[in-house]
């Protein structure tokens, strides 16, 4: 399959949304999305139902706050969803929404300067409409640009994250089917290893089974980005495993690949119980949900780059710490 029709729907939707006045967003979303659209976004938006509700709760306030909003895509792909037996077709885009931060958003004070909202979006296309969306975005990354410090010092690097090193992530034209199959196989092999935590190998050697030695892990703000297997193990994977127990099995809603790229999302992907130390926070011993999107670039038969979106605001709110409220209203 080429997925060109599904890709065109999403691209036309993006253009119409960009061209529309703030007051017309409801009409645009109603035109391209099913009336009972299911939209999942990170805290504080969570699960929204209905095109008009999504316009009023997310798109209109965002456009009101970030004037001259533009979408800067780094990855654009489509594929059939492995999770439902390759029946549904999803279109994925990843990059940044950029604008002038002129009015407050979610209680975050404006800067009058350009700001980037790092995002990734999965759209299920059926009968010519978007029927389900997972729109995940890095609000702590946005907070830091506005001068806030939502988390203790992180283990990896805080950066504005670029797209793929190879600059070939925008797949507007069909890709060889075998490339997508190889990418999906590499992702599945990594998931199999990741879910075990008991391979008998050192963490670095376990990672070498499915990752390139010079891998790049573009993590969310609060954790950060890290480079090479050795530093990834030291700066994220090792501390994460040490800070959690009782990790549940992986549970994805969608998993696709096209060309050398692929990814997945869950709601949540898994649960785990913090035993202390993760992100500089104390143990709560209370299992929490991890809502995650992962996007990957494959090189050869291994994974070379990974962009990760984790709803850390939701996770820590479950642990009794409302990061967003604390940063904007001085809450606990």
pLDDT per residue over 141-173, tens digit each?
999 999 999 998 888 999 999 999 999 999 999
What DSSP character marks residue 11? H
Class of domain 4-145: alpha beta
Return the SS3 of 181. helix
**Which residues in the chain come in under a pLDDT of 70?**
195-199, 331-332
Q: Where are the domains of the chain?
A: 4-145, 177-329
Please report which residue ranges of the chain form alpha helices under DSSP H.
Answer: 4-19, 25-32, 51-54, 60-65, 139-145, 177-194, 203-208, 229-232, 238-242, 312-318, 323-329
- Per-residue pLDDT at 331: 59
User: What does the buried/exposed string (b/e) look like for 37-73 if buried means 16 or more CB atoms within 10 Å of the residue's CB?
Assistant: bbbbbbbebeebebbbebbebbbbbbbebbeebeeeb
The domain made up of 177-329 is a member of CATH 3.10.450.50: yes
- Per-residue pLDDT at 196: 60
Mapped to the 3 state alphabet, what secondary structure does 105-118 carry? ECCECCCCCEEEEE
Retrieve residue 303's tokens: 């994974």
- Per-residue pLDDT at 23: 87
Beta pairing partners, 137: 119
Residues contacting residue 178 through CB under 8 Å, at least 6 positions apart: none
How many alpha carbons lie under 13 Å from residue 162 in its C-beta half-sphere? 6
Return the SS3 of 125. strand
Can you list the positions of beta strands (E) in 33-88? 33-41, 46-49, 66-80
**Contact between 302 and 189 (Cβ < 8 Å):** no
- Per-residue pLDDT at 160: 93
User: What does the buried/exposed string (b/e) look like for 100-139 if buried means 16 or more CB atoms within 10 Å of the residue's CB?
Assistant: bbbeebbebebeeeebbbbbbbbbbbeeebbbbbbbbbbb
User: What does the buried/exposed string (b/e) look like for 294-320 if buried means 16 or more CB atoms within 10 Å of the residue's CB?
Assistant: bbbbbbeebbbbbbbbbbbbbbbbbbe
**Contact between 66 and 95 (Cβ < 8 Å):** no
Same fold, 4-145 and 177-329: yes
């Amino acid at each position: 399959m080429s997925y060109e029709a599904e890709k065109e729907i999403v691209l036309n939707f993006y253009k119409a949304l960009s061209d529309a006045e703030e007051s017309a967003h409801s009409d645009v979303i109603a035109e391209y999305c099913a009336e009972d659209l299911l939209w999942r976004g990170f805290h504080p938006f969570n699960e929204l139902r209905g095109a008009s509700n999504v316009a009023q709760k997310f798109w209109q306030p965002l456009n009101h706050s970030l004037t001259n909003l533009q979408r800067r895509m780094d990855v654009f792909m489509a594929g059939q969803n492995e999770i439902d037996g390759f029946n549904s077709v999803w279109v994925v885009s990843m990059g940044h929404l950029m604008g002038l931060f002129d009015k407050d958003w979610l209680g975050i004070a404006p800067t009058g300067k350009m700001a980037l909202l790092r995002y990734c979006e999965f759209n299920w296309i059926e009968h010519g409409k978007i029927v389900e969306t997972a729109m995940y975005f890095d609000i702590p990354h946005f907070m830091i640009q506005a001068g806030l410090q939502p988390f203790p010092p992180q283990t990896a690097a805080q950066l504005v994250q670029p797209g793929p090193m190879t600059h070939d992530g925008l797949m507007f034209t069909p890709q060889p089917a075998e490339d997508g199959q190889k990418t999906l196989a590499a992702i599945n092999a990594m998931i199999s290893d990741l879910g075990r935590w008991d391979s008998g190998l050192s963490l670095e050697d376990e990672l070498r089974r499915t990752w390139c030695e010079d891998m790049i892990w573009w993590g969310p703000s609060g954790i950060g980005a890290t480079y090479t297997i050795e530093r990834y193990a030291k700066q994220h994977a090792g501390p994460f495993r040490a800070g959690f127990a009782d990790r549940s099995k992986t549970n994805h809603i969608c998993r696709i690949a096209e060309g050398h790229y692929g990814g997945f999302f869950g709601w949540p992907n898994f649960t785990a119980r913090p035993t202390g130390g993760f992100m500089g926070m104390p143990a709560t011993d209370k299992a929490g949900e991890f809502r995650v999107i992962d996007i990957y670039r494959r090189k050869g038969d291994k994974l070379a780059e990974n962009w990760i979106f984790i709803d850390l605001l939701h996770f820590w709110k479950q642990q009794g710490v409302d990061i967003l409220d604390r940063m904007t209203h001085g809450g606990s």
